[in-house]
Amino acid sequence: MTAKKQKLFDYFILCARILLAWTLLSYGWSKLDDGQFGISLEEMATPVKDLGLFKLSWYLFDHEPFKSFIGISQIIAGLLLLYNRTLILGVLISIPIFLNILIVDITYVKMSGFYWRLSYYLILDVLILWHYRDRMTMAFKAIFNGLTTKFKFPIWAYLILPIMAIGVEMLAFIPKLLLELILNPAETLESLSKTLDLFLSLWN
């Protein structure tokens, strides 16, 4: 590719960044500003079977904190696309956002125009990553090359990993248990006592 073509493609990538950023920022803000999602009172009175998947999904997506989470995520991705230092991160965040919207549209909205538009946005994301592939190559090498545990473990430690994983899962209940002991000590202690009795009865 000649220097002139490289410069032209670089400018095209810059235009694509602005397009993707504006799209994400505008759609993200519309969710925070009640400009997207939700249905009318008349539609609310319609039986679910007569409402249709599109309107039903729009009603469900209008609930918090889902709506704000999606809106804020889109705004963050849009802002990251505008700055050179955070461009790659913005692209990597925007890809699952666009892909998720595409699947939602295919499943619920069923308007082919959106399929092509979102697919085009995904292609632009891929082109941006290709344009900066030297950076991406370094990043992937740093992430995947030679990745292993920091220490060696005996065979038995690997064999009991499923059991230990269950133990790690149970650790999640400790903060909740402590909070319940502070807020509802009597009820929590009674519940723990019943649980212990049930556990002991299994061994009798």
The answer to whether residue 204 scores a pLDDT higher than 70 is no
Specify the higher pLDDT residue, 66 or 148: 66
Tens digits of per-residue pLDDT, 47-63? 877 778 888 888 888 88
> What average pLDDT does range 134-151 have in this prediction?
78
The answer to whether residue 75 scores a pLDDT higher than 90 is yes
Q: Specify the residue for token string 């549209």.
A: 105
Q: For the whole model, what pTM was predicted?
A: 0.78
Tens digits of per-residue pLDDT, 84-134? 999 999 999 999 999 999 998 888 877 777 788 999 999 999 999 999 988
Q: Specify the residue for token string 């400018």.
A: 11
Tens digits of per-residue pLDDT, 177-194? 888 888 888 888 888 788
Residue 45 DSSP label: T
> What average pLDDT does range 74-92 have in this prediction?
95
Q: Where are the alpha helices (DSSP H) in the chain?
A: 3-32, 41-44, 48-51, 53-61, 66-82, 87-104, 112-131, 133-144, 155-159, 161-171, 173-183, 185-201
CA distance 162 to 194: 27
